Amino acid sequence: MDLILATGNSHKRDEFQAILPDYRILTPHDLGTSFNCEETGESFCENSLIKAAFLHTHAGGRPVIADDSGLCVRALEGAPGVRSARYGEEEGKSLSSKEKYELLLKNLKGITDREAAFVCSLVLYINEYRYFIFQESCRGLIAEGPMGSGGFGYDPVFLIPETGKTMAELSEEEKNRISHRGRAGAALRNFLHSHGAELGVV
């Protein structure tokens, strides 16, 4: 069974494929279309629903999954939050992942409160009247500097105290077990095992 993921990010597609091995995860690119949806929501949940509904209209009514994820830093009043992927754009240009986490570290310079959480709001979208939301988080600290070469985005500076490692230092298996996206994906996987046949997602 195919599930169409509302993203143009190949790293995210690979993560969901590992989390949902019983399904073939396709992206809009695999369907021969691009995915360019304006995220105007004020919460992760709103944005994931916007993306899911947008893609559903371009996917022939097939089941769609969409997530909106980001990093919330307590000392920055929850920033970058829903703007995690667009962090720093207000300075006039798009930033690379490395430039984004370097800006984050700059904005936290001299601040001792490093508490943060990755948040993932994941939607299984059947149609406009039937969809299911799974929201999870992973709590940690912002490191003083980047460590590790795995993962993507803010992973190199997100330290998980119980492991003593950043997200970028974890194996794929470790990350999928404890990350925000891994936890939301596991909840979706369990839901599909119980209700997939009823929903026609088998």
Question: What tens digit of pLDDT does each residue of 13-45 get?
Answer: 998 998 899 999 999 988 887 778 888 899 999
At 130, which CATH number? 3.90.950.10
Give the pLDDT mean for 149-159: 93
> Under a CB-based contact definition with an 8 Å cutoff, are residues 155 and 179 in contact?
no
Is-catalytic flag, 22? no
In this predicted structure, what is the pLDDT of residue 34?
Answer: 75
- Please say if the pLDDT value at position 133 is more than 70: yes
Average pLDDT for the chain:
92
E strand spans, the chain = 2-5, 24-26, 64-73, 115-127, 130-142, 158-160, 165-166
- Of 30, 68, 113, 155, which is the active-site residue? 68
Count of structural domains, the chain: 1
Beta bridge partners of 125: 64, 131
Q: How many CB atoms lie within 10 A of CB 56?
A: 21
Confidence of residue 92 (pLDDT cuts 50, 70, 90): low
The residue segments making up the domain with residue 166 are 2-199
Confidence of residue 168 (pLDDT cuts 50, 70, 90): very high
What is the reported pTM?
0.91
Higher pLDDT, 109 or 91: 109
- Please say if the pLDDT value at position 176 is more than 90: no
Instruction: Read off φ and ψ for residue 58, nearest 5 degrees.
Output: -105, 5
In this predicted structure, what is the pLDDT of residue 78?
Answer: 97
